[in-house]
Amino acid sequence: MSPLQTIQGKGLRLLRRSLRTTHSRIITCGLLVIGLFYLPQWLSFLGHDLIKGSSSPLLNVGLLYLGLQDIWQRRRKFSHLTASEEDRWLGYLLILAGIAISPFVLSSLSLQWFLVVAIIVGIGFSAWGFGFFRRCPLPIALLLISVYPNLLFLGNVTRRSIFPNALESSMAWMGSLAMQAIGQPATAQGTILSLSLTMAADKSVEVKDACSGFDMAFILAGAGLVLGLFLKQKLPTIAWLMVLGAILALGLNIPRIMLLTFAAVYWGKSSFEFWHGSIGGQIFAGIMFTIYYYLAMWIVERQSRKV
């Protein structure tokens, strides 16, 4: 029998098994909705972000891997679980609601994510009951968070809704102090960083969302979470790795703002666009990830020696 025939045979057996009972048919329909509608758009979105130079998709992949790996390793602990009648009907309700609403939210990937969460949670309830969630809270949370299409967008929306422009203004102010320290006549007012070249000529730049440092702080903090969980570190060490990533990103963002200000004021538009664009951003990201890796591994090794 050829490999293709073997795959076809296994596929047919899996299809027959998935349509054997009402329970398996409902779960199959839920998985088909995720696989046919959400998954292709999710992968396309992450791929497009990755091509643009964003590191956010790597965070999605890391969280997804950790969530699935942990659930797979614990599979024997909940393989014997059976859902109660109430849990099973609650699961069916969540799955069928997600399937029914999905055609009406195809234009919004974020809204589709809520339905994907409902379907995944519904499958868990209908197959294993509440005990499944009680035994695997962290990997389930990692799995559900990882399939959100744009974690950076979610983080930025939360940040701006609580502290609008606070980080941008702080970065402009710290950038002006750093430039004053090297003899530059810099001042900051809100999110505007200005250089007084002469008595009659001032040049200024505005620190916007992309230059606030939040994106890289968010990603490095997430990288600390992924690294800590992957290396099976204790909670305090994981917290230190996350805080270190955020502080490092925000700290290195100050010289980046200085460089962008010099480029805008002295070096011309093309230089500014280079350092502000994807190539310049990747250069800074490469420097940050390199420094962070060595600092993070030093912390991990130090904690290991203590144990």
In the chain, the amino acid numbered 26 is I
pLDDT class for 222, splitting at 50, 70, 90?
Answer: very high
Question: Which residue has 């499958």 as its token pair?
Answer: 123
Pairing verdict, β 186-189 and 202-206: unpaired
pTM: 0.83
Percent of the chain with pLDDT over 70: 91
Q: Tens of pLDDT along 242-274?
A: 999 999 999 999 999 888 888 888 887 788 788
β-bridge partners, 193: 188, 205
pLDDT of residue 5: 47
Among the ranges given (52-56, 121-125, 217-221), the one the predictor scored with the smallest mean pLDDT = 52-56
Helix axes 109-128, 39-51, angle to 10 degrees: 130
pLDDT of residue 43: 93
Distance CA 243, CA 222 (A): 10
pLDDT of residue 2: 54
Residue 229 and residue 238 in contact, taking contact as beta carbons nearer than 8 Å? yes
pLDDT class for 199, splitting at 50, 70, 90?
Answer: very low
Question: Which residue has 């790795």 as its token pair?
Answer: 241
Distance CA 196, CA 189 (A): 13
Take residue 82 and report the two structure tokens written for it: 């059976």
pLDDT class for 192, splitting at 50, 70, 90?
Answer: confident
Starting at the edge strand that comes first in sequence, how are the strands of the sheet with 192-196 ordered?
Answer: 186-189, 192-196, 202-206
Q: What are phi and psi of 182, to 5 degrees?
A: -105, 20
Mean pLDDT of the chain: 85
Average pLDDT over residues 51-75: 87
pLDDT of residue 200: 42
pLDDT class for 7, splitting at 50, 70, 90?
Answer: low
For 166-234, what is the HEC assignment?
HHHHHHHHHHHHHHHHCCCCEEEECCEEEEECCCCCEEEEECCHHHCCHHHHHHHHHHHHHHHHHCCCC
First to last CA, the chain: 54
Take residue 66 and report the two structure tokens written for it: 């950790």
In the chain, the amino acid numbered 267 is W
pLDDT class for 117, splitting at 50, 70, 90?
Answer: very high
Average pLDDT over residues 150-178: 88
Q: Tens of pLDDT along 74-111?
A: 877 777 778 888 999 999 999 999 999 998 988 889 89
pLDDT of residue 245: 93
Question: Which residue has 């809520």 as its token pair?
Answer: 114
